[in-house]
Amino acid sequence: QVQLVESGGGLVQAGGSLGLSCAASGRTFSNLPMGWFRQAPGKEREFLATISWSGSTIFYADSVKGRFTISRDNAKNTVYLQMNSLKSEDTAVYYCAADPDGSWLDPCSWGSWGQGTQVTVSS
């Protein structure tokens, strides 16, 4: 059981960077895999990255490999998504997620979600 709150979104020019944070509350946080997803208007929620509790297992969507970095600091109950070289197609609401029950790559497998933070990339 965990509650999640994203922050760090905003407006950025193409080629710029943003760092997102996901603050978690709940005593089980340190033992949970975490994920980042995004959803653009009218589109399905899209997998971005997942990370195991230790940080030893990480998966990225092909669209963000080499540009985005997921990390976590269990002592701070926080998961991060550093986004570099942003493109207009990165514009979306970004969500962090916890409590997977199935494929980490499938949004439907995650049981807990933050409220989302808007990222808008302008050209």
- Exposure pattern of 59-90 as b/e (b: 16+ CB <10 Å)? bbbeebeeebbbebebeebbbbbebeebeeeb
Mean pLDDT of the chain: 93
pLDDT band at 31 (very low <50, low <70, confident <90, very high): low
Residue 29 confidence (pLDDT): 55
* Distance, CA of 18 to CA of 10 (rounded, Å): 8
- 43 phi/psi in degrees, rounded to 5: -120, 165
Distance of CA 3 to the CA centre of its chain: 14
The DSSP secondary-structure symbol of 41 reads T
Average pLDDT over residues 36-56: 95
Residue 108: other Cβ atoms inside 10 A: 9
Average pLDDT over residues 52-81: 94
Residue 99 confidence (pLDDT): 87
